[in-house]
Amino acid sequence: MSAAAQAYLNTRVSAMVSRLLPAERIAALIPASLAEMAERFGLEPLLDESLTKLAKSRAAEQALIQVLFADLRVLIRPMSAIERGLMLAWARKYSLFNLKTLIRGKLYDLDQAEIHANLYDVPDYVRLPDKELFRAENVLELLRMLEHGPYRLIARQAREVFEQKREPFALEAVIDQRYYHELARLIMQFPSDSQQPLRALLGTVLDAVDLVWLLRFRLSYKLSPSETFYYLVPSVRLLHRERLLALVNHDALEPLLAALPAPLDDLMAGCSTIIDVQSRIGTYTAEEIRRQISRSGSGVARALGYLILRERELFMLFSLIQGKLLGLPRELVEIGIETAAPSCPTGLGAAA
């Protein structure tokens, strides 16, 4: 990127970051009505009385994701090819969500209309060939069709795993794993001055991802240490390969959290559930990314960091909207937007 383009991008990112809503400002929206939310965030389908709650929820989610892609389009304009490639690779997660939906449809023989209703509407530059994939006879054919494009590495690995295990869980886990491997591969192609801040950013994200995956796979799904390690993506920051090899041998929450490196060990002290851990690591990760954005001079690293924070903000807004649509009590909404400890509120009744 030229110096002028770098300056333009950094200025854009600084302006966008300044408009991010902190958690307390999102929490301040809890008393707002759906009509007020619709007006403030341009979510007109929330006011359409002909729609079901499910349809309103889906329309709001789609609209918020379009906001994220609009920011992406602005940020990639001044970027070089390698920088744009990394940003688009990050955004392809939404196409991978669609891929998982298509796979589940094939596995459970769902109606095509039902499958289509659950696909995200994504821009052409990250879109899967949905029409062709709908015509695939089974999961293996669907994955083979993706082995000749930007998803080829993910599709090939996923097909090989499914041929060996025929397990939906293993298939989806390897799709997620290869997604992060691809981001790491692309970052390693950058020159050293841009690579370091990108590695720090991805390392921060992978620390959070690895911790949650480790706890789920090892403690909830009861996978063996070797199986658990196989599905993880070693971080370039705290939870690197050697640490993960040691951590997967723990089979209980308390000793596993105590064995984490600083500052994660202190951060997770007192957590009694995986949900507690997920909430704390999410907040910590967002704070770390904000710090990296404020210190970094790399336009592409700052832009990617902004998109990660923007996505988190939009998901919190969606959780708030969901709570309003379902008529949930304030206590549960606060947990959903991560402004309250994730414990079960009492006195809500059996139905709640």
Segment 174-209, tens digit of pLDDT: 999 999 999 999 999 999 888 999 999 999 999 999
Q: Cα(235)–Cα(334) distance, rounded to whole angstroms?
A: 31
Position 25, amino acid: R
Residue 105, classified by CB atoms within 10 Å of its CB into exposed (0-12), middle (13-18) or buried (19+), is: buried
Q: What are the distances in angstroms from CA 234 to CA 28, 134, 247, 276?
A: 38, 34, 12, 22
What is the predicted pLDDT for the residue at 148?
83
- DSSP states along 86-147: HHHHHHTHHHHHHHHHHHHHHHTT--HHHHHHTS----GGG---HHHHHT-SSHHHHHHHTT
Is the predicted pLDDT of residue 348 greater than 70, yes or no?
A: no
Q: Cα(21)–Cα(43) distance, rounded to whole angstroms?
A: 17
* Per-residue exposure over 77-89, b if at least 16 CB sit within 10 Å of its own CB, e if not: ebbeeebbebbbb
Is the predicted pLDDT of residue 350 greater than 60, yes or no?
A: no
Q: Cα(11)–Cα(78) distance, rounded to whole angstroms?
A: 12
Mean pLDDT of the chain: 92
pLDDT in tens, 117-158: 889 999 999 999 878 888 888 999 999 999 988 889 899 999
Q: Cα(197)–Cα(183) distance, rounded to whole angstroms?
A: 14
What is the predicted pLDDT for the residue at 214?
98
Is the predicted pLDDT of residue 342 greater than 80, yes or no?
A: no
Q: Which spans in the chain are helix H?
A: 3-18, 23-27, 34-41, 53-76, 81-91, 93-107, 112-117, 130-134, 139-145, 152-165, 168-187, 192-215, 225-231, 241-247, 253-258, 264-267, 274-295, 299-326, 330-336
Token reading at 96: 């991978």
Is the predicted pLDDT of residue 344 greater than 80, yes or no?
A: no
What is the predicted pLDDT for the residue at 264?
97
- The CB-side HSE value for 90 (13 A sphere, CA atoms) comes to 25
What is the predicted pLDDT for the residue at 141?
93
Q: Cα(184)–Cα(178) distance, rounded to whole angstroms?
A: 10
Token reading at 329: 């009590």
Token reading at 72: 């992406």
At 346, the pLDDT band (50, 70, 90 cuts) reads: very low
At 335, the pLDDT band (50, 70, 90 cuts) reads: confident
With pLDDT > 90 as the criterion, what percentage of the chain qualifies?
79
What is the predicted pLDDT for the residue at 5?
87
Considering the segment(s) 80-189 as one domain, its CATH architecture is: Up-down Bundle (1.20)
Q: Taken in order 213, 219, 223, 228, is the CA torsion positive or negative?
A: positive
Residue 327 near residue 320, CB atoms below 8 Å:
no
pLDDT in tens, 29-53: 999 999 999 999 999 999 999 999 9
pLDDT in tens, 246-269: 999 999 999 999 999 999 999 999
Q: Cα(229)–Cα(28) distance, rounded to whole angstroms?
A: 41
- The CB-side HSE value for 182 (13 A sphere, CA atoms) comes to 24
Question: Domain ranges in the chain?
Answer: 80-189
Token reading at 37: 């939310």
pLDDT in tens, 292-329: 999 998 999 999 999 999 999 999 999 999 999 999 99
| Residue closest to 299 by CA, chosen among 180, 197, 200 | 197
Query: What contacts 12, CB < 8 A, 6 or more positions away?
Result: 74, 75, 303
Q: What is the pTM of this model?
A: 0.93
Q: Cα(187)–Cα(198) distance, rounded to whole angstroms?
A: 7
With pLDDT > 70 as the criterion, what percentage of the chain qualifies?
97
